[in-house]
Amino acid sequence: MRTLALLVTLACFASAQHQALIDYLERRLLAIEDRISLWHEQSTRYASELRELKQQMVAQLENLDKEKEALRVNLEGMGTRVDRVEREMDYLETQNGAQPCVDVDDKLVEQQVMQVKEKNKAKYEKLSDCRHMMSSIKAMKILKRVGGSKGTWTKDINGLLGKVYIFNGTNEETIHEFASVQDFSISQGTSLAKPWNLPSSWKGTGHVVYNSHAYYVKEAEEVMVVKYDLRNGTVVDSAVFPVQDHVPVYGLNPETVIDLAVDEEGLWAIFATRQNERRISLAKMDARTLDIEQMWDTTCPQENAEAAFIICGTLYVVYNTKQPGRSHVQCVYDVNDMVTNEDAPLVYFPKRYGANSSLKYNPLEQLLYAWDDGYQILYKLVLKKKLEI
């Protein structure tokens, strides 16, 4: 009997523990179900909020797209108006030169002009019969974009085949030759070009091609002008430029120490020195021997100058600002004293990409070959006669 009672007692105890375990598990399952229900409720709410947020963002993006399109249309209209205003400003600036600040007697001015004429008559006839000066920019054409932000492109001046040459960069040694401007315009990069590997790298952007010869500046211990034959790939001649204490000829293009130029009279060198108080100087060179024939000190400052070119013995210096704006001819120097800053028109270049790293005048075409932030641009010039003698 005792054993039976013990078994009954143990069975009752085991049954009570089993029931307690079942109760505990039921409570835990209820708690988990409550949490799952809460999670499901929160998930549903979050999904609803996300849908509303998505709808709001879609609506805002649509509004932004509409505003962006309206802004683009307004900017295009504004750009058109700005271009029109710039063209009108160019025209007005060309037609209306700067007026003198002091009234001068007309007879006195006439006498001074006649004195200048008589004084420079012999000198003018000795140098050249070229009597034209720049009047305005008639048109421009953006040909393409090849190369880096700085470089030079030019046509073979006086060359019979009309070849075009690309000097990409300010410290390279490969010239790219194109058979024509058309070949250059349709070429993918320099794929249609013939490369000429120079024996030494050039410095700056002051190079020209004249009568199938490349004239470029080499800077080592001394500044040298090198004459390279583009028919057989040989150096014909080189000469140390006989000037000390060079400074960059253009304040906005410090890589260029000497800028070579060609006009109706031949080869020129544009440079600057500390001795001349950082004003630009000019030298006439013999294209055959690289000898210096004559030098002039101009009144044109080197500061804020970006490029220059020469027409009929007259130097036109183009200025800009450190934050590129509208390039303009601000200083003029005529080696024959027939053109002064007062005589020269105020010419502004159309505002384009950045600043000109080089401007090369072609006297046969009356075109300027400009390199503007990697873009190759042609400017058609209008010329007029200088003061008659």
pLDDT in tens, 22-67: 878 888 888 888 888 888 888 888 888 888 888 888 888 888 888 8
Least confident interval from 77-86, 305-314, 325-334: 77-86
- pLDDT over 70 for what percent of the chain? 83
- Structural contact between residues 302 and 251, judged by C-beta atoms closer than 8 angstroms: yes
Whether 15 shows a pLDDT value over 80: the answer reads no
* pLDDT tens-digit readout, 275-319: 888 899 999 999 999 999 999 999 999 999 999 999 999 999 999
pTM: 0.69
Average pLDDT, the chain: 84
For residues 337 and 268, which has the higher predicted lDDT (pLDDT)?
268
Nearest Cα to 127, choosing from 323, 354, 300, 296? 296
The residue with tokens 């085949």 is 161
Q: How far apart are CA 174 and CA 192, in angstroms?
A: 14
Per-residue confidence (pLDDT) for residue 87, from 0 to 100:
57
328-346 burial string, b = 16+ CB within 10 Å, else e?
Answer: ebbbbbbbbebbeeeebbb
Nearest by Cα to 223 from 237, 240, 238, 236: 240
Burial degree of 60 (CB within 10 A; 0-12, 13-18, 19+):
exposed
DSSP β-bridge partners for residue 285: 267, 292
Amino acid letter for position 183 = D
More confident residue, 208 or 46: 208
pLDDT at 252 over 60: yes
Q: Tell which wins on pLDDT, 96 or 41.
A: 41
Cα 104–chain centre separation: 42
Mean pLDDT, residues 230-236: 94
Span 346-369, average pLDDT: 90
> Residue 272 forms beta bridges with which residues?
247, 280
Mean pLDDT of 181-209: 93
**What is the Cα–Cα distance from 188 to 178, expressed in whole angstroms?**
12
Query: What is the domain partition of the chain in residue ranges?
Result: 1-96, 130-385
Residue 117 has pLDDT above 60, yes or no: no
pLDDT digits (tens, 9 = 90+) for 127-141: 457 888 999 999 999
Q: Is the pLDDT of residue 268 over 90?
A: yes
The 10s digit of each residue's pLDDT in 137-154 is 999 999 999 999 999 999
Amino acid at 43: S
Element at 86 (helix H, strand E): helix 2-95
Q: Quick one: 158 exposed, middle or buried, by C-beta within 10 A (0-12, 13-18, 19+)?
A: middle
E strands, 194-347, are: 194-197, 208-210, 213-219, 223-229, 234-240, 246-247, 258-263, 266-273, 279-285, 292-301, 305-311, 314-319, 328-334
Q: Residue 237, SS3?
A: strand
Tell me, what DSSP letter sits at residue 337? S
| Residue 249 predicted with pLDDT over 80 | yes
pLDDT at 18 over 80: no
Q: Considering the domain 130-385 in this protein, what is its CATH number? A: 2.115.10
Q: What is the pLDDT of residue 86?
A: 62
Please report which confidence band the pLDDT of residue 83 belongs to, taking 50, 70 and 90 as the band edges: low
Q: Averaged over 164-170, what is the pLDDT?
A: 95
Give the strand pairing for 367-372 and 375-385.
antiparallel
